[in-house]
Structure formats: structure tokens, C-alpha cells
A and B are shown apart, each in its own frame.
Chain A
Amino acid sequence: GAGVSQSPSNKVTEKGKDVELRCDPISGHTALYWYRQRLGQGLEFLIYFQGNSAPDKSGLPSDRFSAERTGESVSTLTIQRTQQEDSAVYLCASSLGRGVLAEQYFGPGTRLTVT
């Protein structure tokens, strides 16, 4: 079946602009995760959604970052007033179960470049 998809695959934006990244999870997966990965670095956890529960937003780097999810479907990660340090690959994953115990299936990522 279809895996996790993310769009756009690449995004180049000017400093100060807003960007919206989209993630379509595997159908039926109740949990959805967002990560940031800077070049040559490990994954930085941002946020995760589990069903209709309110997400813990404390992992978001700043108040310029926000994330939404409609039910158990698509999620969007929005970065307002982008800065050069926001340049990274943004990875989305989904899982049937919850939390670190669940096998996460990752999308191909969105490469964001802020000029």
C-alpha cells in the first residue's frame, strides 16, 4: 500500500516568508510525528499527534512553528517568518500504535532551504 507522503519534496524560500509543509500518513495510522534533521545531524523531535488528543507542543523550536492535524489524516507544519537556521529536512512519520514503542514509518521528507 501507499506509504507516508510529504509535499513539497523541496522548498526554497526567502528569509521572513511563511512556509507550510504537508504530511499524508498511512491510512489507518492513528499517530503522526514531525522531526527536523539538519545536515549531518540526528533527528530532532518536534511534535506528535495521537488520535484526538491534544499534542505536547513543547518540542517545537519556537513560537514561529505550529502544527495541525485533522482527525487521523493529513497534517501540516507551518513555519512563520522563516530564518536561515530553519533550513533542514523535515521528516514526517506515522504509526499504528502510540509513542516510542510503535514502529514508525517515515516519509521521504521535505528539504527546506531558507535564503
Chain B
Amino acid sequence: LAKTTQPISMDSYEGQEVNITCSHNNIATNDYITWYQQFPSQGPRFIIQGYKTKVTNEVASLFIPADRKSSTLSLPRVSLSDTAVYYCLVGEISASKIIFGSGTRLSIRP
């Protein structure tokens, strides 16, 4: 399993773009990168998944450079409701374990 490293916490303000980077230096060829969001007292929620280059959905964008040793979750124009913990996961379909790690605690201020 590829180990991931994320900042413990980040702060930003409403209306700003927030970028959270995850390092995964030993990512394997078959590994995908997945991000989840967790609000207090709730289970995590799937945000986005990608393998290479850029993926965009209605919530976020995921940027993955050519070497795939890191990835960046981009949240456009954040609001107070984006305050949550964000987890980066790396793995492939046959993995028997799933590592969420400690995540990044994002705090958005007015």
C-alpha cells in the first residue's frame, strides 16, 4: 500500500480557492487516488477519484502530475460549509486493506 502524507491542518477564507496536496512517493502503477470529506459526527463522503492528469466534477478538481508522486485536491470558492477533514487514499482494486490516514483538517473563516 502506498503511504500518503498530508498537512495536518489548513486555514482559509470564504470565497478563496483551497488546494490540499497529498504526497504518495511510492505509488504503484495500478494505484488510483481517491479523496474523501468528513464533517464532524458523520461518516466520510466520496469527493473525487483519478489516475492521472486532471479530473473535475461539480464539487472539486483533482490534479495529478505526470510522475503521480503527489496529487492536489482543489476546492473552488470555499464556503463555511467546506470546513471538514479531507482524506487522501491511494490503492488498487485488489488491495485487501484501505488506509485513510490522519487527513487534513480544513477550517474556513468568514
Contact = CB atoms under 8 A, between A and B. Distances in A.
Interface of A: 4, 33, 35, 41-45, 48, 56, 58-59, 91, 93, 97-101, 103-109
A67 B89 CA distance: 24
13 contacts: A42-B85, A42-B101, A42-B102, A43-B100, A44-B100, A45-B97, A48-B96, A58-B97, A99-B91, A100-B92, A101-B34, A106-B45, A108-B42
Interface residues of B, number: 26
Nearest to B31: A100
Contact of B44 (A43, A56, A99, A101): A43
Contacts, number: 67
Contact of B91 (A41, A93, A100, A105): A100
Interface in B53-110: 85, 87, 89-103
Query: What is the predominant secondary structure among interface residues of chain B facing chain A?
Result: loop
B55 to A, nearest CB: 13
A102 to B, nearest CB: 8
B43 A91 contact: yes
